[in-house]
Structure 1
Amino acid sequence: MSIFKYPARDLYSWLTTKQDFLLLDVRNAKDFERFQIESPFPFDMLNVAYFDFMEIEDESAAKVPKDKPVRIVCAKEDSAKYVAEILEKHGFEDLGYLEGGIKSWGNLLVPMLLSPKEDYQLFQFIRPGKASCSYGLKYKEELMVFDPSRNSEFYLEFAQENNCKLIKTFETHLQADYIAGSRVLSEKTGAEFLGHDNDFGSSKNVFSPIQDGEIYPFAQNGPEVKIFFTPGHTPGSTSFIIDGKFFISGDSTFIHSIGRPDLGGQVDAWSDILFETLKRIRELSDDVLVLPAHYIDWEEANSDLCFVATLAEVKNYNKDIFAIDNKADFLTFIKSNMRDQPPEYAEIRLLNANLKQVDDARAEELDLGKNECAASAYAAQQASQ
């Protein structure tokens, strides 16, 4: 078999269908440690740096087993192709390299339908390279999106393929961990950009402010989108209740954790606000389906590989957190799980507020890597490893 190029969506398919292959990551050890490809199922992965193949070719090739197909990943497509050519010279036959390099994995969005029994389509767009989720709500010929990533072409193509028009793009909050796509989507399509004034009021974005309890309908009836104010992670954090059944929670609560109230440098004040928000969330119906903005790892996915759980399940997963009955103990919990936020977050906030611009290369660099938005003992443990 000749060397071939594969797209990120094929890599996701191989991982989620348990295909037997070796993933050879040829980035340097520092970049590999910072950001690795993850899967819901175990798979074989090996890190041998591209420069090792250049400098000690025979020794590096000998580290790669020949008993299964090899799929190569690097920061850049050409580097992975170069390694594939070296391995072919050493007798390897089934070799593929990732199209677009690691950034194509970081930008990949996987649409999953969450509402097969409804007369509308609610999609979760899983971003496995970021451990994050955005959402799309389609009814007849109209589409609303929630927390879109900077991969605007995906959402535009999705709308075109599904014969609908993007009419609204909502932000749950001013993001710090990835570059949001609402401003660009609004500029390209004329869709209304909506967010809370507490987060976006000081930005240079052209947006419509949203208020708690407001209802946003489609043109021809359909499901209603209800604004549910959930501050604490940020002052303007907002969630959305879809058709009374789905709760797009943003960074207020996740499936196995809750959002961090310390990213803005005001942990004492924001912790108190988040405590009150969690009390309010707790009063929602236990049957409502929580749709988080992030996940810690694939253990949070259900059997369909979607990140969705009933509020009852979320409260049970986080029972120690939801059991805290006073602000002082809640603040103690938060502070015991605090860790430094990535230095890139400050710059990403400026970009999302449209207060700074960077070129595409810098944007890709900032946007790559897993989120660190959860406040839990588990997350802190992972960060310290």
Structure 2
Amino acid sequence: MVNQVQLQGMSAAELAKKVLNNESIFILDVRNESDFNDWKIEGKNVHVYNTPYFDLIDGVEAVLDQIPDDKEILVVCAKENSSKFVAEQLIEQGKQHISYLVGGMKSWSEHLELVKIGDLKDGGEIFQFVRIGKGCLSYMVISNGEAAVIDGVRMTEVFENFAKDKNVKIKHTIDTHLHADHISGGRQLAEKTGGTYWLPPKDADEVVFHFEGLEEGNSLVVGDTEIKIQPIYSPGHTIGSTSLIVDNQFLLSGDILFVKSIGRPDLAGKAVDWVTDLRTTLYERYKQLSNDLIVLPAHFGKVTELGEGGKVSGRLGDLYKANPGLNIEDESAFRRTVTENLPPQPNAYQEIRQTNMGKITPTNEEQREMEIGPNRCAVHDA
């Protein structure tokens, strides 16, 4: 009898909803073992099994015993073709509830999940864009017909479309620092929308395009209601790292402070030089701020940091109690923590920095390849 089961594709957006809703799903990842070990789909009820595609070309019999019959099965590869082939073989072997990830891990890397963070005091709103497969976090502050995008990623259409849906004009695009793990969309978004691109000047010695200097003492205004974005110089991850306080409620901490870790100081080769800056920012400057500020970082490390709906945030006072990176009282121990035994550096991070400086202009496909893999901006995993 011919198997009538039809192969279905699952989009990255559909997968993200399942992960965030803690739905049970079994993933057969057919990428090479090294790629799988470097970066994989994770979630509370996500079960993953890895067998390279080349081991399955002549048949999937070897993995049939690993494939459960009582779970939804998703086959994953880098781009989608290999996963479609394997998924079809599983269907021919009588397996049910089989689908493949449309666009593969590249589409998973690029998907942004929109989460509302909260309301601003004079009627505005703040939103978080969660790049769940990469761990990047971008933000949009909206007030009275205007918007600012902070740490926007290169998929700028998402921000443009959301601004259009909200009937607002993007007035500012802001990078809290020169990113090393992903390609910024800030400059491109500003050019496309007629907005102003802001970047800390101490990070921009080698930048070859025009920008406005994001410096402490300035105050950017979004909308007539004056939702102020107050920059605070907070070096350590980079020499120019600058945090933002929005509406006296939210602390956009860039890559200096995460929910469960702290930023690493070595991505520009200056770990030893920047340790003191990092400690001063975290243990002195941030401690002068209100404990009630809601910390909104530019990255997260693991899906365990995702809260309701995928939101990544934490009250500053709570982080000072629970975040291990904020509780290393001995300065020499702190120095060792942030300079020794660090995770591997982000894939292609030097090329990404060069791109964000405007020194090289990779094609879209080259940019996708450069960004494949996890972010590694934290001192340690959450």
- TM-score (norm. length: structure 2): 0.92
- Residues of 2 paired with 1:210 and 1:373: CA distance? 21
Cα distance change, pair 68–300 in 1 and its aligned pair in 2 (3 A): closer
1:335 aligns with 2:339: yes
Identity %: 34
From 304, 310, 314, the equivalent of 1:309 is 314
Cross-structure match for 1:85: 88
Cross-structure match for 1:190: 194
Matches within 5 A, 1:1-385: 1-39=5-43, 41-116=44-119, 118=121, 119-278=123-282, 279-318=284-323, 321-322=326-327, 324=329, 326=331, 328-342=332-346, 344-376=348-380, 379=381
Regions of 4+ moved over 6 Å: none
How far off is 1:165 after superposition? Answer: 1.5
- Match of 1:302, as an amino acid? G
Q: What is the number of residues matched between the two proteins?
A: 376
How far off is 1:297 after superposition? Answer: 1.6
- Residues of 2 paired with 1:115 and 1:155: CA distance? 18
How far off is 1:316 after superposition? Answer: 0.9
How far off is 1:311 after superposition? Answer: 0.8
- Match of 2:211, as an amino acid? F
Q: Secondary structure at the match of 1:55?
A: coil
- Residues of 1 paired with 2:13 and 2:352: CA distance? 26
Bigger mean CA offset, 210-219 vs 241-250: 210-219
How far off is 1:320 after superposition? Answer: 6.3
How far off is 1:79 after superposition? Answer: 2.0
CA-to-aligned-CA distance 1:39-61 (integer Å, 9 cap, x gap): 2x132222222222212433244
Cα distance change, pair 212–33 in 1 and its aligned pair in 2 (3 A): same
- Residues of 1 paired with 2:147 and 2:326: CA distance? 35
Q: State the Cα RMSD in Å.
A: 2.0
- Residues of 2 paired with 1:303 and 1:57: CA distance? 38
Cα distance change, pair 164–73 in 1 and its aligned pair in 2 (3 A): same
- Match of 1:96, as an amino acid? S
- Match of 1:6, as an amino acid? M
CA-to-aligned-CA distance 1:210-254 (integer Å, 9 cap, x gap): 210211112412411111111111111111000011000001111
- Unaligned runs of 5+ residues in structure 2 are none
Q: Secondary structure at the match of 2:56?
A: helix
Bigger mean CA offset, 259-268 vs 162-171: 259-268
How far off is 1:301 after superposition? Answer: 3.1
How far off is 1:91 after superposition? Answer: 1.2
Do 2:30 and 2:51's aligned partners in 1 also have CA atoms closer than 8 Å?
yes
